[in-house]
Amino acid sequence: DTTGPVIEAASLPADTTIQCGNNPDLLLSEDFDVSDDCNGWEMTAERVTEGLEESPCEYTLIDTYTFTDCDGNETVFVHTITVVDTEGPTISFAIFQDEPYYCAFEVPEYAVPASLTADNDLPFGASDNCATDDEIVVTYSDSVLATNGDNDFTVVRTWVLTDHCDNKTELEQVI
């Protein structure tokens, strides 16, 4: 026997692109339809990650599957998975006061830009599929919609959360 195992083409996964945070496990031998003239074969699998250090926003997982029969003949299949981060942070909860403020100085101000670390006092929580809390930058801007004197006005505060790949999520707060 000088021929390596034959992998049925229909059982081979196509190269694909996925969102960061959803990295799949390596495939198992039973995920492939393999035949060989020799009685029995074995599969080894190895994953190599390329480009993660240079760009955590887009990198590649290269899965190499080697099928070896009882005579030492090999067939190799390489599956390429491109991992991207195109999703902004997700706001998990918001704690905004329902009652009005009675003086302009009561409207809370926050030191920004800030990160989502445990020591901040931001009125919401958020997370990201790829970035850590300290990699999410929070800013806001205020727009006065209506005014009827010094202490009678409506403000729309637009919060912007930006992850390490420059993906943004906005949240509006009416004050």
pLDDT of residue 97: 62
Poorest-pLDDT segment among 2-6, 22-26, 91-95, 161-165: 91-95
pLDDT of residue 99: 66
What span, in angstroms and rounded, lies between the C-alpha atoms of 115 and 162?
10
**129 C-beta neighbours (distance < 10 Å), count:** 16
| pLDDT above 90 as % of the chain | 46
Section 49-72 average pLDDT: 93
For residue 85, name the pLDDT band (cuts at 50, 70, 90): very high
Section 42-61 average pLDDT: 94
- pLDDT greater than 70 at residue 79: yes
Q: What is the pLDDT of residues 7-33, one digit of tens each?
A: 999 899 999 999 998 889 999 999 999
For residue 154, name the pLDDT band (cuts at 50, 70, 90): confident
What span, in angstroms and rounded, lies between the C-alpha atoms of 136 and 164?
6
Q: Which pairs from 68-71 meet CB under 8 Å and 24+ separation?
A: 68/4, 68/5, 68/41, 68/42, 68/43, 68/44, 69/1, 69/4, 69/5, 69/36, 69/37, 69/38, 69/40, 69/41, 70/1, 70/38, 70/39, 70/40, 70/41, 71/1, 71/2, 71/38
Is the whole model's pTM more than 0.75, yes or no? yes
